[in-house]
Structure formats: structure tokens, C-alpha cells
Amino acid sequence: MEQPRANLPVGSVKLVIGKLLEEISILKPKQIALQTQLRDFDQKTMPRQIELWGDRIIPAVRKELAQKQAA
């Protein structure tokens, strides 16, 4: 059970970005679906998590992928 947990995109913003980029480079998915578990987060944490994904994580992943495609 530890290995699947180690592969989950959780942790700091930098760590999540790195994990996603690694998974994308290996699996080359056309789409990625994210699921959050509402019961694990209080009502202040959940909006912050969604905000981080939208404002920092997804844009950083897109930027890195665009740079790799341009190279």
C-alpha cells in the first residue's frame, strides 16, 4: 500500500508538479482526472487546495510541457 501512496500527487506545490511531470513523461496521457476527498479537508482547506491547483500547479505543468514540446 505504501507504493501507490508514494505515487499520489500530494505534498508541496513543487513536489506535486514534479510528480505530475514524471507521471506524464512515463504514461503520456491525453487527459488527467483529479479527485479530491472532501472528508479529508476542512472547509477552509478545500478551497485553498482547488486554488493551488488552478493558480500554480496546472499552469506550471502546462508551461513545462510546452517548453519540452518546443525543444
**Structure confidence by residue, pLDDT tens digits, 19-43:** 999 999 999 999 998 877 656 677 8
- 64 in Cβ contact with 21 (< 8 Å): yes
Q: Does the structure show a pLDDT above 80 at 45? A: yes
Residue 47 banded pLDDT, cuts 50, 70, 90: confident
Q: Does the structure show a pLDDT above 60 at 11? A: yes
pTM above 0.85, yes or no: no
Name every residue whose Cβ is closer than 8 Å to that of residue 53 and which is 6 or more positions away in sequence: 34
Q: Which residue from 66, 68, 62 is spatially nearest to 20, judged by alpha carbons?
A: 62
What is the C-alpha to C-alpha distance for residues 71 and 69, in angstroms, rounded to an integer?
5
**pLDDT given for residue 39 in this prediction:** 65
Domain ranges of the chain: 2-70
Determine the 3-state secondary structure of 20 from DSSP. helix
**pLDDT given for residue 10 in this prediction:** 84
